[in-house]
Amino acid sequence: AQTVTQSQPEMSVQEAETVTLSCTYDTSESDYYLFWYKQPPSRQMILVIRQEAYKQQNATENRFSVNFQKAAKSFSLKISDSQLGDAAMYFCAFEIQGAQKLVFGQGTRLTINP
Amino acid sequence: NAGVMQNPRHLVRRRGQEARLRCSPMKGHSHVYWYRQLPEEGLKFMVYLQKENIIDESGMPKERFSAEFPKEGPSILRIQQVVRGDSAAYFCASSPPGAIPNTGELFFGEGSRLTVL
């Protein structure tokens, strides 16, 4: 069975600074996909960034980037120049290629201090 | 272009009653997924449906829970004889035909929060 672990229940960062959220996963599969989702107080799940396991290059989306370490099964999210609107729960998620379902971590609550 | 619409947003039921949660996917989407989020936890997959077909229900509890996605109308998640442990947020997501979640084309609704008294 696949598992996703987020070891940081809560994180905080000063506005405009950089923060890194950790995620590790466990799988015996070789073809899979990783995601970070953001859940603001409105509770809607918003895709932040995704990474294909076969790609060595780390994905980036504006201020969001990942550090994907396949051998270590680690997938951390870096948020640069943090903004107040980044405050939310962040969930790491995993999907085996073709499985059509996501496995989520427990989430990390990110607070941005003005 | 409306997103995934879920209703009701909040539902309160007493133990033993039935709960029905509805999900209208985005226009043009024919794949629907239901996830459950217990307090302070991540989302857990329940079921994946296409029009008139259940594709994967491996995450559905064996009893009291059922889901459908008829040819016309919204997808329905039905919970019979609710218990306090069913209290959770239930999220629906949709994707267009031919797409798979790992393309990032999975769009979530805002969820329906069920409270069982």
B87-105 tens-digit pLDDT: 999 999 998 776 555 555 6
Interatomic CA distance for residues A88 and B59, integer angstroms: 26
pLDDT of residue A35: 94
A20 with A6: CB under 8 angstroms? no
- pLDDT of res. B39: 84
Reported as type and span, the H/E element at residue A5 is strand A3-5
* Residue ranges of A 33-92 with Cβ closer than 8 A to chain B: 33, 35, 42-47, 50, 52, 91
Question: Which pLDDT does position A44 carry in this prediction?
Answer: 85
pLDDT at B101: 52
Contact B105, B1 (CB under 8 A): no
**Residue B36, beta-bridge partner list:** B44, B90
Q: Are A92 and A36 in contact (CB under 8 A)?
A: yes
How distant is the Cα of B106 from the closest Cα of chain A, in angstroms? 8
Span B22-67, pLDDT tens digits: 999 998 888 999 999 998 888 999 999 998 999 999 999 999 999 9
What would the pLDDT profile of A83-110 be if each residue is shown by its tens digit? 999 999 999 999 877 777 899 999 999 9
Q: Are strands B19-24 and B5-7 parallel, antiparallel or unpaired?
A: antiparallel
Cβ within 8 Å, pair B101-A102: yes
A106 touches chain B (CB under 8 A): yes
Cα–Cα distance measured from residue B71 to residue B79, given in angstroms and rounded to the nearest whole number: 21
Whether residue A102 and residue B109 make contact (CB cut-off 8 A), yes or no, is no
pLDDT above 60 for B7: yes
DSSP A57-112: SPPEETTEEEEEETTTTEEEEEE-S--GGG-EEEEEEEEETT----EE---EEEEE
Question: Chain A interface, mutation test: which of B43, B50, B60, B113, most A Cβ atoms within 10 Å?
Answer: B43
Name chain B contacts of A104, Cβ cutoff 8 Å: 35, 42-44
What separation, in Å, do the N-terminal and C-terminal C-alpha atoms of chain A show?
Answer: 41
pLDDT digits (tens, 9 = 90+) for A11-49: 999 999 999 999 999 998 888 899 999 999 888 889 999
Q: In this prediction, what percent of chain B has a pLDDT beyond 70?
A: 91
Residue B96 has a pLDDT of: 78
User: Residue A11 corresponds to which tokens in the numbers above?
Assistant: 């994180």
Contact B42 A106 (CB under 8 A): yes
Q: What is the pLDDT of residue A5?
A: 96
pLDDT greater than 70 at residue B106 = yes
CB-CB neighbors (< 8 A) of B35 in chain A? 102, 104
